[in-house]
């Protein structure tokens, strides 16, 4: 009796190529290495922010410029998008129909764009209140950390458009399936980073 072959969670490559599961594992492992290197960058920026938190130079303080309600709304959008991108991956695994994957990916894209719109409004409000990156070390550290996460969200939204085009042209072949799973991992990673930003930046900024 032959041993059952391992299957990579979330892909179901089937017989589309030789040793598909082994190749998928290699590709996903490489992407995990990339995510960990990105996490190191964010960790360094968190450390810089922590050391500069009190260095306001007599300018705006965290409590005076951070809108906690907006940050919580942005959190709700991202956490919901984490659910919808997961449903897109599950639809690819169990249904493998373009309509279901496009639907959930489209909802995720819309939530990501809404997050970026709210965050851009927050930054514009801070600028209007005189909270520029050059005003103090605290604001320099803030604008090095938080907008970088926003750039990642923007990159993820662009990636979704690219994946939609790949699905249209190539269907759900092995390469497309692996890329969709990578996109899902990237988006979940951004949600984890945002929860850290909410805790370290926004909630801590309103502590007495």
Would you say residue 9 lies in a domain?
no
Q: 11 falls in which pLDDT band (50, 70, 90)?
A: low
Binning the chain into helix, strand and coil, the percentages to the nearest 5 are 75, 0, 25
Would you say residue 3 lies in a domain?
no
Domain that holds residue 82: 42-49+63-205
Would you say residue 55 lies in a domain?
no
CATH number of residue 142's parent domain: 1.20.120.80
pLDDT mean over 56-73: 90
* Exposure class string for 156-184: b at 16+ Cβ within 10 A, else e: bbebbeebbebbeeeebebbbbbbbbbbb
Q: Mean of the per-residue pLDDT values for the chain?
A: 87
What is the C-alpha separation between 154 and 163, in angstroms, rounded? Answer: 14
Would you say residue 20 lies in a domain?
no
**In this structure, what token pair is assigned to residue 35?**
């995510």
Q: 21 falls in which pLDDT band (50, 70, 90)?
A: low
16 has a pLDDT exceeding 50: no
Q: What is the DSSP letter of 12?
A: -
* Count of domains observed in the chain: 1
Would you say residue 15 lies in a domain?
no
Would you say residue 185 lies in a domain?
yes
């Amino acid at each position: 009796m032959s041993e059952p072959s391992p299957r990579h969670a979330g892909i179901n490559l089937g017989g589309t190529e030789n040793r598909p599961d082994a190749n998928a594992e290699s590709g996903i492992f490489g992407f995990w290495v990339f995510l960990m290197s990105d996490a190191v960058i964010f960790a360094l920026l968190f450390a810089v922010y922590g050391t500069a938190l009190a260095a306001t130079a007599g300018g705006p303080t965290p409590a005076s410029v951070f809108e906690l309600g907006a940050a919580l709304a942005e959190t709700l959008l991202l956490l919901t998008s984490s659910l919808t991108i997961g449903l897109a991956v599950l639809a690819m695994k169990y249904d493998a129909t373009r309509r279901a994957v496009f639907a959930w990916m489209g909802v995720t894209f819309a939530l990501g764009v809404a997050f970026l719109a709210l965050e851009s409004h927050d930054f514009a409000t801070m600028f209007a209140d005189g909270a520029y990156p050059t005003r103090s070390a605290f604001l320099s550290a803030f604008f090095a950390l938080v907008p970088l996460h926003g750039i990642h969200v923007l990159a993820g939204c662009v990636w979704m458009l690219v994946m939609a085009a790949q699905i249209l042209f190539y269907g759900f072949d092995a390469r497309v399936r692996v890329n969709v799973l990578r996109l899902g991992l990237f988006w979940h990673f951004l949600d984890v980073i945002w929860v850290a930003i909410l805790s370290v930046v926004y909630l801590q900024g309103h502590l007495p």
